[in-house]
């Protein structure tokens, strides 16, 4: 029987939490009394995570796993899950159990009411540092200020979507992925359910500051050209200021006896303008780097093998 729900679970080195993740997801989904599959996406794990899912799949035909040849990133893993999912509704949830599986029935209820996308919105975040909470809150608000497409505040990738939305997303070929932005961009009927985000069940975060910064840059450069426009405005403003300063220097030279004093002030102004120029070049460089990535047109991920329930098969 074909599944109604495909639960997509990307993971990277989560051997400490995966047994509990499987148990809670199976319990929740069995309680819904509808066919389902658990589709785990192994994003290049180097610990025993894949072996845990292999063992679970050998006992339960509803569990499958797609294993990447290396780490391609969480966003690529989410897209792979959508492309391999068999269900009519797809739910994306992290393996660390910070997003509670018990919210899935509420999402399914909204889907049955006719919504195409049901996203989880965090009303509270437990066991997270002030820095993480502050930067996450600031990121969404800055992103919405820059983007023309509104992106729901305080959301992650935890959401349910209809197969119609999935088909549209899988047809997009961009490589610098920001999944939650793409879901907002495609439209359709969308609504939310709120939940309390828990602390990790076990293990350590796989999203350090470096990855968070990279995701933020992907989000901004994928959904907003306003930084480029801002760079132009700053350039014109500084050019105007420089021209006015030039006129003042010429006037002072021709009509006064004063001489320009102060090598330090001259160097300060020079360093300021050079610094601004380098910042603007950096903004341009970010966009050019994204263009470069897109033009190479390499696959977003490479599958090493596919594990099916009660058996293995090579992809």
* Length reported for the chain: 315
Q: Tell me: the pLDDT tens digits for 87-122? A: 889 999 988 888 889 989 999 999 999 899 998 888
**Do residues 101 and 26 both lie within one domain?**
yes
pTM: 0.66
Domain-located, residue 33: yes
Residue 221 lies in a domain: no
The predicted pLDDT at position 131 comes to 60
Same domain, 81 and 137: yes
The pLDDT, as a whole number, for residue 57 is 86
Which stretch of 151-165, 271-285, 298-312 has the lowest confidence by average pLDDT?
271-285
- Which whole number is the average pLDDT over 167-180? 79
The answer to whether residues 174 and 118 belong to one domain is yes
Residue 226 has pLDDT above 60, yes or no: yes
Pick from 101, 68, 82, 220: nearest CA to 162: 82
43 pLDDT more than 50:
yes
Could you tell me if 131 and 47 lie in one domain?
Answer: yes
Place of tokens 């994003």: 43
Tokens describing residue 102: 């018990």
Residue 106 lies in a domain: yes
Q: Is the pLDDT of residue 252 over 70?
A: no
Strands (E), the chain: 5-11, 36-42, 63-68, 89-92, 117-125, 155-162, 190-197, 303-308, 311-313
Mean pLDDT of 13-31: 89
Position 89 in a domain: yes
Same domain for 308 and 280: no
Tell me, yes or no, whether 79 and 66 share the same domain.
yes
Measured distance CA(299)–CA(174) in Å, rounded: 10
Asked whether residue 174 falls in the same domain as residue 127, the answer is yes
| Number of domains present in the structure of the chain | 2
Segments forming the whole domain that contains residue 280: 226-296
> Is 175 among the domain residues?
yes
**Mean pLDDT, residues 178-199 taken together:** 80
Q: Is the confidence at residue 268, as pLDDT, over 60?
A: no
In a domain, 217, yes or no: no
Whether residues 284 and 169 share a domain: the answer is no
What is the rounded CA–CA span in Å between residue 171 and residue 83? 10
**Look-up of token digits 């389902």:** 36
Distance separating alpha carbons of residues 101 and 31, to the nearest angstrom? 12
pLDDT band at residue 8, thresholds of 50, 70 and 90? Answer: very high
């Amino acid at each position: 029987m074909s599944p109604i729900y495909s639960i997509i679970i990307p993971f990277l080195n989560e051997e400490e939490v995966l047994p509990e993740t499987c148990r809670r997801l199976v319990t929740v989904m069995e309680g819904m009394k509808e066919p389902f599959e658990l589709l785990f996406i192994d994003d290049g794990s180097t610990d025993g995570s894949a072996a845990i899912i292999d063992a679970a799949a050998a006992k339960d035909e509803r569990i499958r796993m797609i294993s990447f040849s290396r780490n391609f990133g969480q966003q690529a893993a989410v897209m792979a899950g959508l492309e391999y999912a068999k269900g009519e509704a797809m739910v994306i949830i992290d393996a660390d159990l910070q997003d509670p599986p018990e919210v899935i029935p509420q999402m399914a209820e909204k889907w049955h009411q006719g919504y195409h996308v049901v996203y989880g919105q965090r009303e509270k975040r437990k066991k997270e540092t002030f820095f993480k909470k502050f930067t996450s809150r600031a990121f969404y608000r800055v992103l919405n200020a820059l983007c023309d497409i509104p992106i729901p505040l305080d959301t992650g990738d935890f959401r349910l979507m209809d197969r119609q939305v999935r088909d549209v997303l899988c047809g997009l070929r961009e490589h610098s992925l920001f999944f939650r932005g793409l879901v907002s961009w495609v439209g359709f009927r969308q609504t939310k359910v709120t939940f309390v985000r828990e602390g990790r069940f076990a293990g350590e975060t796989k999203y350090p500051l470096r990855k968070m910064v990279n995701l933020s840059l992907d989000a901004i450069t994928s959904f907003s050209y306003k930084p480029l426009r801002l760079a132009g405005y700053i350039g014109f403003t500084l050019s105007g200021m420089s021209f006015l300063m030039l006129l003042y220097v010429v006037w002072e030279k021709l009509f006064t006896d004063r001489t320009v004093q102060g090598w330090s002030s001259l160097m300060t102004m020079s360093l300021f303008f050079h610094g601004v120029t380098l910042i603007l070049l950096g903004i341009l460089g970010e966009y050019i780097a994204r263009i470069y990535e897109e033009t190479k047109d390499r696959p977003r991920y490479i599958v090493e093998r596919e594990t099916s329930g009660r058996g293995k098969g090579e992809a």
